Structure 1
Amino acid sequence: MNLEKLMKEKNVDAVLITNMLNVRYFTGFTGTTGVALVAGGKKFFITDFRYVAQGKEQVEKNGYELICENISTLKKVGEILKEFKVEKLGIENQNVTLDQFKLFESNFPSLEYVYLDDNFTKIREIKSEKEIEIIKKSVEIAEKALELTIPKIKIGVKESEIAAELEYQMRKLGASKPSFDLIVASNERSALPHGVASDKKIEEGFLTIDYGCFYKGYASDITRTFYVGNNPSEKHLEIYEIVKQANEK
C-alpha cells in the first residue's frame, strides 16, 4: 500500500505527516524539524529557514515542494488546507500529542480528522531491495564494531567504557548513532532485561551486550552474551545452554 492508496482507502482529502521517522521515509529529509503535507495531488514539505539547503537537496528529488517561509508551520499548513478546500484530514493519531491535537482543532475547527492508526507502519514494513541492503549494512557495521570492541572487554573495566568504545567503533564504521541506549550488563546485572551500561566494573561471569546502530535511517539490533574469565562453573554452562537452545527453537 502506498500513500495515495491509503488516502483513497481512508477517504481523506489530505494527509499531515508529523512523526520524523515517517517524514524521513516519505520525503528523504534527515533533519529534525518539519512536516509533510499531501493535498490536492501535490506534496509539500514545510520547515524553517535553517533547512533551505538541506531541504532542496533531499526532499525535492522525492517530489515534495519545499516551503521555508517566515511564518509558523501550522499557519502555512492552514493556508494549504484552505487553498485545496480540504474537509477531511488524515493525522498520525498514535504520534500526535494532546496539545498538538488541541492546536489543530483551534486552528482548523471545521476539519474532520481521520485517524491513520498504524497504517504508515504497515506501508513501511514492506521493504524494497534497497532498504534490505541498507539494513544488512547496518547489521554488518554493528557486528564489525563488536569484533573490534571485544579485545577491550576485561575484568575491572567499566560497563560504560565498553559501551563508549562500541559506540565509537560503530560511528567510525559509518553509523550515525546507536539505535538505542547501549546495554552492557555484567555478572548479576546480566539478568536485567534492559541493563543500560553503568559505572559498574566488569567482574568474572556473564556479560550481556544488547546494541545496534542507525545507518542511513535503518536500525540494527543485536544481543550477545559472553562469559568473562577463564572458569565458568557447571551452572553457568547449564544456563547458557538452556538459553541457547531456547533461542534456536
Structure 2
Amino acid sequence: MFNVKNLSNRLNTFRSKMKDLKIDGAIVTKIENYMYLSGFTGTSANLLITGKKAYLLTDFRYIEQSSKQAPLFEIVQHKPDIIDTINEIVKSEGIIKLGFEELNVSFAQYRQYTDKINGVEFHGMGSLIDDLRIIKDEQEIEIISKAVEIADAAFTHVLSVIRPGITELDVAAELEYKMKKLGASGASFETIVASGLRSSMPHGTASGKRLEPGDAITMDFGAMYNHYCSDMTRTVFLGQPEKEMKDIYSIVLNAQLTSEKGAKRGRTGSEVDKIARDIIYGNGYEGKFGHGLGHGVGLEIHESPRLSTGGGRRLENNMTVTIEPGIYVEGLGGVRIEDTIIIKDDSPVVLTKSPKELIIL
C-alpha cells in the first residue's frame, strides 16, 4: 500500500524520536501504528525496532503477506507467546532501555513484559507514533481523497432512495452497499442515520424507525478505502420541515462554512471551535452544541488534532480534519453538517463535495 520511500522516511523519523527519548529499542503494538511504520496491514503483529534493525513479529497466517508488504523489516514468526520472541531479540540486540506504547498496552500485558523480559528499563512512548501520523504525506492525502469521493457518491445515490416508509436501517444499508460497490472495504465507522425526533441524538445509529414526512434525516458516515477513513455528515428533510428546523439548518450551515474558512494554519483547535460555537450560541442555542467541532481523520476515524474547546494543538499544513458543528434540540430534532478538509495555510482544501444547501426531498 505504501511506497518504500515513505516507509523509509517514517522509520528514520521514528528512530530520531527514539534517540530523543534515549531508548535503545521500541515495541510497537497498536495496529494503526505498526501499519504506518511497516506497511503491513494484517491484524496480528508487533514491531521491534532498534537504531539499526527492524523486526516484524507475526504468526504463520501472515508470513507471506508481511514479507510482501513490509520490505524494510525482518519478518519473524513468533513463538506461541510473542513475548518470548521479543525477549530473545531484546537479549540478542543488547537492548537496555525499551520503549513501549503504554497508551495501547493493558496493565496485564505490561505485567507480562516486566515478568518475562528481564534486565531492561521500560519507557512509555506516549502518543509518539500517533503524533507522527498527524501530518499526512501526498500518498495518504490521495487515499483519503478517494475515500471522501466514495462517500460523496454514496450520498448522491441515497438521495434517490429516501422515501416515506423505509427505515433508517434501510438508508444505512444503501449507503454502505454503494460505498462497497465503489471500492470501499467497508464503512469507516457504524453508520449514523437519525430521523425525526431521533435526529436530536448526535450519535443516533440507524434503527428500525420508519421515515415520515417532515422528518429531518441526519446521515453521518464514511468509507474505508485502503485502510484510510473518510467522514461526512449531511442533514436532509423528507418534505417541508418546521420553521425552527429551517432556522437551525441556516445557523448550522453558517457556523460550518465560517469555521471551515477559519481553519487556518497556526490556529489552535479551540480557536477554530470557538468560531462555530460563537455563531451557534449567539443565535440562542447555547448548550445545544455539546460536542467538539472536529477531529483528525486518517488510519483511524478519530485522530489528533482535536478541534474542540480543549484543543490546544496548532493546525499545520497537511493535517486532515473534519468540521462538523450541530444543533440538537430534544423533542424537536437536530442538524449536523460535516466536511473533511486539508489544512493549507490560509485556505483549507475542502475534500467533501456534496451540496450543503437545504435539501427537501
Is TM (by shorter chain) over 0.5? yes
Structure 2 counterpart of 1:221: 231
1:200-225 deviations in Å (ceiling 9; x for gaps):
11122200000112111211110110
Structure 1 counterpart of 2:207: 198
1:80-101 deviations in Å (ceiling 9; x for gaps):
0000111111111111111111
Partners in 2 of 1:44 and 1:32 — Cα distance? 16
Partners in 2 of 1:153 and 1:99 — Cα distance? 48
Q: Is 1:4 paired with 2:15?
A: yes
Please tell me whether the aligned partners of residues 191 and 205 of structure 2 are also in contact (alpha carbons under 8 angstroms). Answer: yes
The DSSP-based 3-state class of the residue aligned with 2:160 is helix
Higher mean C-alpha deviation, range 63-72 or range 196-205: 63-72
Unaligned runs of at least 5 residues, structure 1: none
1:1-249 map, 5 Å: 2-59=13-70, 61=71, 63-204=72-213, 205-229=215-239, 231-249=240-258
Partners in 2 of 1:121 and 1:178 — Cα distance? 22
Please tell me whether the aligned partners of residues 154 and 202 of structure 1 are also in contact (alpha carbons under 8 angstroms). Answer: yes
| Offset at residue 41 of structure 1 (A) | 1.0
Partners in 2 of 1:27 and 1:201 — Cα distance? 46
Q: What amino acid is the match of 1:35?
A: N
Please tell me whether the aligned partners of residues 155 and 201 of structure 1 are also in contact (alpha carbons under 8 angstroms). Answer: yes
Partners in 2 of 1:104 and 1:157 — Cα distance? 52
| Offset at residue 233 of structure 1 (A) | 2.7
| Offset at residue 45 of structure 1 (A) | 0.5
| Offset at residue 69 of structure 1 (A) | 4.3
The DSSP-based 3-state class of the residue aligned with 1:157 is coil
Structure 1 counterpart of 2:309: none
Q: What amino acid is the match of 2:199?
A: S
1:110-136 deviations in Å (ceiling 9; x for gaps):
221111111111111111111111111
The share of aligned pairs that are identical, in percent, is: 39
Structure 1 counterpart of 2:301: none
Question: What's the RMSD between the two structures over aligned residues?
Answer: 1.3
Partners in 2 of 1:92 and 1:52 — Cα distance? 24
Between structures 1 and 2, the one with greater helix share: 1
The DSSP-based 3-state class of the residue aligned with 2:27 is strand
Please tell me whether the aligned partners of residues 159 and 185 of structure 1 are also in contact (alpha carbons under 8 angstroms). Answer: yes
1:28-60 deviations in Å (ceiling 9; x for gaps):
11111111110251001000001122111111x
1:183-242 deviations in Å (ceiling 9; x for gaps):
00001111111001111111222000001121112111101100112x223222111111
Partners in 2 of 1:203 and 1:87 — Cα distance? 65
Partners in 2 of 1:70 and 1:239 — Cα distance? 59
The DSSP-based 3-state class of the residue aligned with 2:144 is helix
Please tell me whether the aligned partners of residues 23 and 36 of structure 1 are also in contact (alpha carbons under 8 angstroms). Answer: yes
Please tell me whether the aligned partners of residues 39 and 81 of structure 1 are also in contact (alpha carbons under 8 angstroms). Answer: no
Please tell me whether the aligned partners of residues 15 and 37 of structure 1 are also in contact (alpha carbons under 8 angstroms). Answer: yes
Please tell me whether the aligned partners of residues 166 and 210 of structure 2 are also in contact (alpha carbons under 8 angstroms). Answer: yes
Q: TM-score, normalised by structure 2?
A: 0.66
Partners in 2 of 1:88 and 1:129 — Cα distance? 34
Partners in 1 of 2:130 and 2:28 — Cα distance? 12
Please tell me whether the aligned partners of residues 15 and 51 of structure 2 are also in contact (alpha carbons under 8 angstroms). Answer: no
Q: What amino acid is the match of 1:48?
A: D
Q: What amino acid is the match of 1:27?
A: S
Q: What amino acid is the match of 1:198?
A: S
